[in-house]
Structure 1
Amino acid sequence: MKTILSLSACCVLASTLATAQPTLPKTNLKFDFGSGKTEKGYMQVLPTTQYTKEAGYGFTKEAQVSAVDRGGKDALKSDFITSDKPFYFTVDVPEGNYDVKVTLGDKAGESTTTVRAESRRLMLDEVVTKTGQLETRSFTVNVRYPQIDAQEKVRLKSRELAYLNWDNQLTLEFNGPSPKVCAVEITRNDKATTVFLAGNSTVVDQDREPWAAWGQMIPRFFKPGNVAIANHAESGEALKSFVSERRLAKILSLMKPGDYLFIEFAHNDQKRGSAYVEPFTTYKEQLKLYISEARKRGGIPVLVTSMHRRNFDSTGHINNTLGDYPEAVRQTGAEEKVAVIDLNAMSKTLYEAWGPEQSIKAFVHYPANSFPGQTQELKDNTHFSTYGAYEIARCMMEGIKANVPDLAKHLMSDIAPFNPAQPDPIAAWHWPLSPMITALRPDGN
């Protein structure tokens, strides 16, 4: 069997991983949003509180927000920040996992707020409060830095330099028809189980509308405080490039016993070129490298077969464009006694339930001028719309329930069972657009 990594590459990887990460200080930051009284122990956030490096927190410069003060004795809940446009609040924090508690609502009005973190990770989906009702919700967010140690860092692509995932900050996006934010509290969480995601454009936190992937949807499904999703996937990646760009090394440098590594590749690995691997030989060997390295650190590897492309035959059934790669994953899972989530099989059922016409809504198919600056039609049968990504994420939740029971214990109790043969209706899907939009197709196909 052909060796995938050169001896020198293996030595570099081993050297990189040998350097321990420093212990970072705990962080507990409290922000009282609004122009009224400030709650004791909290920092006041006004509409004019723009982010500066000196302060270390604030709204991004694009934010168009206003403050409302309803008066009363409860300083934390009597006032809030709101806007008729999405807005971002960002805070400098050390690398790690954080519990975020937000207080939403209005003593004299209704509110509807969707909360996303970093690059459009879905954390809270449409929190609706009635007049006089206030809701406190929590979620757990992973923050990562490019640095691995004093000498090494992830080899970021030029486009990644603008990602909110790599900027040494925790950024929250407040969105919806009437978002009303009373308070935000951020607390470091060193005990949460981290689920690391290694994959390509079908997994990554797609940072711009109208693109999306399942990795940025699944944080919404986990109980706060217990699990943090660390999505290290990137568009265009294959198993070999993920190693050479130090992305796997970065994950392994952070992994602690009991953490998970979800591995989903194939779309780019099957293409002839420097990243190409044969399905039943070098592809399996690469998968086993990931499995072995995770296990050395007490991590729990989980294999995920890649979802199909939207490619129908004349009878309305899905053509297999991924060859033997999904079967190679299944075989590797059996050989290594690793859980396998068969997203390939579930996606076939899902797509065929939609059919050739309805499935278009699940992918990035939009006529010209659907979005600002989009002068040409978008027609992509690999990458998902937000609706499609959410449905794939629901498939992933069923896969976790069936194959990773210890992790499934941490799923939210309000998740209804999902049958890929009966997808959620597109008419019921609502996703307020994030302000960052692009017509540029992600790498990979």
Structure 2
Amino acid sequence: MNHRNLVRFFALAALFVSKALAQSPPATVIPSRIVIIGDSTVCEYPAERPDRGWGHFIEESFKDGTVKVINLAAAGRSTKTFIKEGRWQKALDEKPNYVLIQFGHNDSHAPEKPEATDAATDYKDYLRRYIDESRAIGAIPILVTPMVRRTFNPDGTLKDELQPYADAMNEVGAEKKVPVIDLHASSRKLVEPLGPDTSAEMANKKGDSTHFNEKGARAMADLVMKELPAAAPKLKEHLKAP
């Protein structure tokens, strides 16, 4: 093959390759998998019920197809019972890239309750287990402190029974070098100035100071999403434009 024909051959080959690449389908985007574990303030509810957990609304913040949220939170569970019932193993079996972990409300129940844990001891131990076992499968654990209950003292301040659990989670996060979304602190800043009457508009039913309707759950989801990009920087590129 002479020089002129050789040049023509390579030019035609390059043209063929460029056309083939232009016509080939775009690479399939594999969505990041976020598993959420926690309690009734986080979980999914049937459409006909007024209850909502903040985990229900997280996926809405991401571009379509870029993130898959698997919300495995369950009402009434604590760090202890979520493991004992086999729910944690199911979460690991989902092969998540990220695990969002919020417990504390049921851990704080009276010591004789089967779900109760002590903030200073076994609560921390269970959190360490979630962290270690997440990392063992290549997932990134992210702790989320429990939001405040909307119960008020006569002077208008919040009764804060969950602060020891929020403190314990922050301490474990620092110890294990795990990002912490401090929903306890941010929800206090939101709820306390509202007072008992206005904050009651977040409740799923009259007199419930713990659980949420859609308005309240969305408010909690917004607080989580404000801190999630800093906790998981690689997820920033998947966020919808504000």
Q: What TM-score bracket applies, with the shorter chain setting the length?
A: 0.7 to 0.9
Q: Say whether 1:352 aligns with 2:192.
A: yes
Q: Which residue pairs with 2:232 in the alignment?
A: 404
Q: Which residue pairs with 1:264 in the alignment?
A: 102
Find 1:386's aligned residue among 186, 200, 214: 214
Find 2:154's aligned residue among 279, 296, 314: 314
Contact 2:29 2:66 in 1 (8 A): no
Q: Which residue pairs with 1:237 in the alignment?
A: 77
- CA separation in 2, counterparts of 1:410 and 1:403? 14
Q: Specify the structure having the higher radius of gyration (Cα).
A: 2
Find 2:32's aligned residue among 177, 193, 216: 193
**Alpha-carbon deviations, 1:371-425, whole Å to 9, x = none?**
xxxxxxx4211001110111111001111133322223322113xxxxxxxxxxx
1:318: Cα distance to partner? Answer: 1.5
Instruction: Report which structure shows greater RCO (CA 8 Å, sep ≥6).
Output: 2
- Which amino acid is the alignment partner of residue 118 of structure 2? E
Contact 2:173 2:180 in 1 (8 A): yes
- Show the 5 A alignment for 1:84-95: none
Report SS of the residue matched to 1:314: coil
**Alpha-carbon deviations, 1:69-100, whole Å to 9, x = none?**
xxxxxxxxxxxxxxxxxxxxxxxxxxxxxxxx
Distance 1:190 1:238, change over 3 A: farther
- CA separation in 1, counterparts of 2:163 and 2:225? 25
Q: Which residue pairs with 1:332 in the alignment?
A: 172
- CA separation in 1, counterparts of 2:204 and 2:44? 15
What is the number of residues matched between the two proteins? 212
1:238: Cα distance to partner? Answer: 0.8
RMSD of Structure 2 on Structure 1 (CA)? 1.5
- Which amino acid is the alignment partner of residue 405 of structure 1? P
Report SS of the residue matched to 2:172: helix
Find 2:90's aligned residue among 247, 250, 273: 250
- Which amino acid is the alignment partner of residue 204 of structure 1? C
Distance 1:312 1:227, change over 3 A: same
- Which amino acid is the alignment partner of residue 79 of structure 2? L
- Which amino acid is the alignment partner of residue 406 of structure 1? K
* Runs (5+) with no aligned partner, structure 2: 1-27
- Which amino acid is the alignment partner of residue 269 of structure 1? D
Identity of aligned residues (%): 37
- Which amino acid is the alignment partner of residue 230 of structure 1? I
Q: Which runs of 4+ in 1 moved over 4 A?
A: none
- CA separation in 1, counterparts of 2:235 and 2:127? 21
1:357: Cα distance to partner? Answer: 1.5
* Runs (5+) with no aligned partner, structure 1: 1-188, 366-377, 415-445
More helix by share: 2
- CA separation in 2, counterparts of 1:240 and 1:276? 8
- CA separation in 2, counterparts of 1:408 and 1:190? 16
- Which amino acid is the alignment partner of residue 328 of structure 1? A
- Which amino acid is the alignment partner of residue 146 of structure 2? S
- Show the 5 A alignment for 1:164-243: 191-207=30-46, 208-243=48-83
**Alpha-carbon deviations, 1:231-278, whole Å to 9, x = none?**
00010011111112111101111215xx00110001111222222221
**Structure 2 length as normaliser, TM-score?**
0.83
- CA separation in 2, counterparts of 1:409 and 1:362? 31
